[in-house]
Amino acid sequence: MNFMPQSEQTKARLAAERKALIDRSERFSRQLGRSPYNKVLLEGFVGVRDERRYTAAGLPVVKMQLRYIGQQSMAHTGKPGLHAERMVMCEISVLFIGSDLCSAVYRIAENSLVRVKGFLTRNAYKDELSWVILEAMGIEIIEDAPDKNASSDE
């Protein structure tokens, strides 16, 4: 009989599952000579940015919200060869680490349309694997935010 409290049992189970996944990923990496694919290219609108903070190693870090709004094709419509479109809206936290990226983020106006390249990772402040954050490796402006002072007649 196991006398661990349920939360301890859950933590132990999650740790065992995490270790098993890490082992499988390492085996996959050895077989293919690379890590499992994890690359993200996401275009969206700049949202709220947190204040710049610093890691224990002294690297600057900025977290920003990126809002995606657009039409996406749905693969499963029930009819072969038919793909339906649907409106998708979501928001994801994007983490920028390093002087160049952090400086670039602060030069971009809120509501500008940007393209962010990066990879998904767990949010370091959470103990669960399901808390996902996009760690940026690059950002570029597609379109500046509309000028709030510009006339709507133009």
Contact 60, 47 (CB under 8 A): no
Contact 2, 9 (CB under 8 A): yes
Distances (CA, A) of 125 to 81, 121, 132: 43, 12, 11
**If you classify domain 38-143 with CATH, what class do you get?**
mainly beta
Q: What is the pLDDT of residue 9?
A: 84
Residue 57 has pLDDT above 80, yes or no: yes
Summarize the confidence of residues 70-74 as an average pLDDT: 86
What are the boundaries of each domain within the chain? Answer: 1-36, 38-143
pLDDT tens, residue by residue, 88-100: 999 999 999 999 9
Q: What is the pLDDT of residue 129?
A: 57
- Cα–Cα distance for residue pair 88/101, rounded to 1 Å: 27
In this prediction the pTM is: 0.74
Summarize the confidence of residues 49-67 as an average pLDDT: 96
Q: What is the pLDDT of residue 149?
A: 65
